Amino acid sequence: MAFRKVIFATAVLAIALSSPSVASKTKNAAVPPSPTHPPSPVYYVDIADLLDVAGPFQTFLNYLQKTNVIEIFQSQANTTKIGITIFVPRDSAFAALKKKNTLAGLITKGHLKSLLLYHAFRKFYSLTELSKLSRRNPVATFAGSKYTLNLTDDNGGIRVKSTWSNAKIVSCVYARAPVAVYEVDKVLLPMQIFSSQAALRTVCGWN
């Protein structure tokens, strides 16, 4: 599995970095290491590979790739020690929305990118840290400071709440700094996108 390979490659890298033979080679090299070379992340996780083998998260992954949000997520995971937390809905959660035609209008309005960015925090949070985060509600997402989510404790489980959706974390796909990926049972719907009465009716089934 690609995912296993990632962990294996990371382990090999860690060994290589700590190996004395590599260290002495670097020392004797005529060319000094380039100062512009970015520091290696502690663990490298390929988010697209991860979503591809876990899941089915194909709808979310396809949207990420179509909008290039995958690059934004990957670069956050790559270049910061702060990391990233992603909430990923299954294909069935998107299918439930599609039935009501909620996302069709989104794509033409160009809001899809914000919707995807709304599914992430610009920081790595373990499940324990997430449950503590409820004290700091509302929490800004990757989509911007106005696009917030509320974390709530629900009998030991954690809910990720927006005005129009109350999703639950149903499984931990991956959680090792700097990358956390949690499966949620619903697509998270930000108020900024779904603010019209028409959208409300479609999403919430209001009359």
Interface ranges with ligand NAG (CB under 6 A): 44, 71, 74-75, 78, 137-138, 150, 161-163
Instruction: Please report, as a single letter, which amino acid is at residue 162.
Output: S
- Smallest distance, ligand NAG to C-beta of residue 134, A: 9
Secondary structure of residue 91 in the 3-state scheme: helix
**CA-to-CA distance for 27 and 21, rounded, in angstroms?**
10
- Smallest distance, ligand NAG to C-beta of residue 158, A: 14
- Smallest distance, ligand NAG to C-beta of residue 140, A: 12
**Smaller CB separation from ligand NAG, 19 or 75:** 75
Question: Encoding tokens for residue 95?
Answer: 């299918």
**Smaller CB separation from ligand NAG, 91 or 129:** 129
- Smallest distance, ligand NAG to C-beta of residue 103, A: 21
**Smaller CB separation from ligand NAG, 56 or 132:** 132
Q: Which residue has the tokens 């996780």?
A: 45
Question: Encoding tokens for residue 69?
Answer: 């949000």
Residue 68 phi, psi (nearest 5): 65, 10
Residue 139 phi, psi (nearest 5): -105, 130
Q: Which residue has the tokens 């390979």?
A: 5
At residue 115's C-alpha, the angle toward residues 201 and 90, to 5°, is 85
Q: Is 196 left (phi over 0), alpha (psi -120 to 50) or beta?
A: beta
Question: Encoding tokens for residue 86?
Answer: 């992603």
- Smallest distance, ligand NAG to C-beta of residue 147, A: 12
**Smaller CB separation from ligand NAG, 67 or 162:** 162
**Smaller CB separation from ligand NAG, 98 or 168:** 168
**Smaller CB separation from ligand NAG, 91 or 191:** 191
- Smallest distance, ligand NAG to C-beta of residue 52, A: 16
